[in-house]
Structure 1
Amino acid sequence: MARLWSCLAVCVTLLLVHNVFGTDNENRFRDPSMVQDKSHLKEHVQELTQEQINQMSPEELEFHFFKSHDSDKDHHLDGLEIMAAVSHNSDYDSFGRPAPEGETAEQERERTNQEHQERMTVFTGLVDKILSEDDTNNDGMISYIEYVVSRRRVPGT
């Protein structure tokens, strides 16, 4: 039974990586639907009204996206800040598997631990991809300039 759950977990993880985050050629930091999400921005920037957010240009939305995820205010996004931004904007957690009937407390702990490990594998892979593509000076962080240059690689932005 444990082997069946392990196989199922691997299949679900692979499916989620493709469906939630797209193909290996996509970089979520270049996705306008993520970096220009007005409702997400409103969650992070309380001092702005919804009307102000609605009037922002795509560039202003992207600036505030970057700024709102720079939690240590050092004008760079490190791996943890990138992970927070990407994980907050994902549907990964909505794909949780239902608990099997008769699951013991120990089995539940094992299952939830495995689900957590799967999420971490997906998100660390995404962070690594973003850093490998967009961190042009290889300092392990994305500066605002690197972020803007990366965003401009997308046609139509």
Structure 2
Amino acid sequence: MAVLWTCLAVVVTLTLVPNVFGTDNAEQTENRFRDPTMVQDKGHLKEHVQELTQEQINQMSAEELEFHFFKSHDTDKNLKLDGLEIMAAIEHQHSHRQPAAEPPVPEHETPEQTRARKYREHQERLNYFTGIVDKILEQDDTDNDGMMSYIEFALSRRRHEKGVQQA
């Protein structure tokens, strides 16, 4: 079963993840699930929650925005975000901030070299995003079940806000 999940993660990543080369190191070290600009993004929420009007979204409190962010990424509706759901949320936000840019194809590259290069690039992107997901779960998955419940998500956000205000 673990092999199936690994294969699914690779397929999802290879099809969803944009080119992330050139990202700043701050993004790699921060827990993006704590960032209000990500979890309270009204435009991002409107993309995911079609039944809400823009006016309704504009009137939401920060906590309501965060709840709908969480709920909209819980694709299997089990009230928890697994690694793939977290990865999709991060990738979606990342692609809005940094549109994919295809690196130039080296001259005289053979088809075999192209396949090998693209494979390496995909592996680097997979490692990049799985590293972020692992860090988020390590920091915020307090019951160590490999998923983030809404309570864990909300508590992490509040602890972070409190820490930022005290600093």
Check whether TM > 0.5. Answer: yes
> 2:128 and 2:24 mapped to 1: Cα distance?
7
Structure with greater contact order relative to length (CA < 8 Å, sep ≥ 6): 2
Q: What is the TM-score normalised by the length of structure 1?
A: 0.82
Q: 1:28 aligns with which of 11, 27, 32?
A: 32
Query: 1:78: which partner in 2?
Result: 82
Query: 1:18: which partner in 2?
Result: 25
What do residues 37-86 of structure 1 show as CA deviations (whole Å, max 9, x unaligned)?
11111111111111211111111110000000000000000111111111
Question: CA RMSD for the aligned pairs?
Answer: 2.0
Instruction: Tell me how far 1:93 sits from its aligned partner.
Output: 5.8
Q: 2:45 aligns with which of 26, 41, 61?
A: 41
- In structure 2, list runs of 5 or more residues that go unmatched: 1-19
Instruction: Tell me how far 1:126 sits from its aligned partner.
Output: 0.5
Q: 2:92 aligns with which of 84, 88, 95?
A: 88
Q: 2:121 aligns with which of 103, 112, 115?
A: 115
What do residues 5-24 of structure 1 show as CA deviations (whole Å, max 9, x unaligned)?
xxxxxxx85x52615x24x2
What do residues 116-154 of structure 1 show as CA deviations (whole Å, max 9, x unaligned)?
111100110011000000000001110000000000012
Instruction: Tell me how far 1:101 sits from its aligned partner.
Output: 2.4
Which stretch of structure 1 is more off in the superposition, 49-58 or 66-75?
49-58
Aligned residues with identical type, % of pairs? 65
Aligned positions, number = 142
Q: 1:93 to 1:99 in 2, by over 3 A?
A: farther
> 1:17 and 1:123 mapped to 2: Cα distance?
14
- In structure 1, list runs of 5 or more residues that go unmatched: 1-11
Preserved CA contact (<8 Å) 1:17 1:122: no
Q: What is the TM-score normalised by the length of structure 2?
A: 0.77
Q: 1:60 aligns with which of 52, 60, 64?
A: 64
